[in-house]
Amino acid sequence: MRFSIYPWNLKSWRSAFAVSGLPGVALFLILLGAMLQVEDLSGGGAGHSSATAILLIRTPAIVLAFLLLLFKPRIAPMRGTDLRVLYAAFAGLYFVSTLWSEIPIQTLGKSAELLLAGVVFFESSRGENAIARVEGLRQVVLLTMSLLGGLAVIGFCLRLPAFVQHRPGLISSTTAQAPFLSGNGLGYVASALVLVVLAEWQAGRIRMGVAVPQFIYGLALFSVSASRTSFGILLFSILMVIFKRSKLIGVLAVSGVIIGAAMFSTEIVTRLQGHQASSSFVTLSGRTVVWTAAVRQFEHYPILGVGGGVGGKMVISHIGNMYLEEMSSLHNGFLEVLTGLGLVGFLISSYMLILATWRAWNAWNTNPEYAGTYVLIIHVWMTSIMSTGLLGWMGYEVAIYLCIITNVDLVMERARKPLRGPVPVRWSSQKLQPHNQVAG
First to last CA, the chain: 13
Most confident of 42-56, 171-185, 265-279: 171-185
Supply the pTM of this predicted model.
0.85
Query: Quick one: the chain helix, strand, coil %, rounded to 5?
Result: 70, 5, 30
Q: What secondary structure letter does DSSP report for 165? A: E
How high is the pLDDT of residue 325?
54
How high is the pLDDT of residue 19?
93
- Over range 31-49, report the average pLDDT: 62
Helix (H) or strand (E) holding 425: strand 425-426
CA 331 to chain centre: 14
- Residue 49, SS3 per DSSP: strand
Q: Residue 127: how many CB atoms within 10 A of its CB?
A: 10
Question: Is the distance from CB of 435 to CB of 423 less than 8 angstroms?
Answer: yes
Question: Is the distance from CB of 183 to CB of 225 less than 8 angstroms?
Answer: yes
- Over range 269-279, report the average pLDDT: 51
Residue 407 has pLDDT above 90, yes or no: yes
Question: Is the distance from CB of 298 to CB of 337 less than 8 angstroms?
Answer: no
Question: Is the distance from CB of 84 to CB of 356 less than 8 angstroms?
Answer: no
Residue 39 has pLDDT above 70, yes or no: no
- Residue 78, SS3 per DSSP: coil
Most confident of 144-158, 192-206, 409-423: 144-158
- Considering only residues 278 and 366, tell me which one the structure prediction assigns the higher pLDDT: 366
How high is the pLDDT of residue 440?
34
Q: Residue 276: how many CB atoms within 10 A of its CB?
A: 14
User: 49 has which bridge partners?
Assistant: 39
Residue 23 has pLDDT above 90, yes or no: yes
- Per-residue pLDDT tens digits for 338-396: 999 999 999 999 999 999 999 999 998 899 889 999 999 988 998 898 888 888 889 99
Give CA–CA dist 400/374, Å, rounded.
Answer: 10
Residue 285 has pLDDT above 60, yes or no: no
Residue at 343: amino acid letter: L
Q: What secondary structure letter does DSSP report for 96? A: H
Contacts of 283 (CB under 8 A, 6+ apart): 289
